[in-house]
Amino acid sequence: MKQQGQLLAARQPLPLTITSLSYDLAPSQRFTRPEIILGRDPTCDFPLNDQTVSSRHARLSFHQNQWWLEDMDSTNGTHLNGETVTAPVVITHGDELQLGQVGVKIVIG
């Protein structure tokens, strides 16, 4: 029974906090769901009201017991710690993302 509980816990997403480095754009927000959409559209999970950010710019998703970043065919690109994201990539605690001209910091845990 204890093993079953550990297996279920392992499938739950690790809490993730996103902080905009442009403080006037968005407050820090903590998430516990397995998918987060970042973009200019106000219906996104983490909306960023900046013209360089696409409506649905990037996706963060939790699978294989880790968080992944994926660009959603954005116009101005997504960067992870200065590197262009061209395919889904694992993110870790302290990573910085650039969506268009907007920077955000990731805290996991």
pLDDT digit string (tens) for the chain, length 109 residues? 455 444 445 578 999 999 999 867 778 999 999 999 999 999 999 999 999 999 999 999 999 999 999 999 999 999 999 999 999 999 999 999 999 999 999 999 9
Return the number of other C-beta atoms located less than 10 Å from residue 18's C-beta.
21
Cα distance between residue 80 and residue 101, in whole Å? 13
Q: Which residues constitute the domain of residue 60?
A: 2-108
| CATH number of the domain within which 52 lies | 2.60.200.20
Number of domains the chain contains? 1
CA distances from 81 to 12, 41, 46, 73, 78 (A): 26, 24, 19, 19, 10
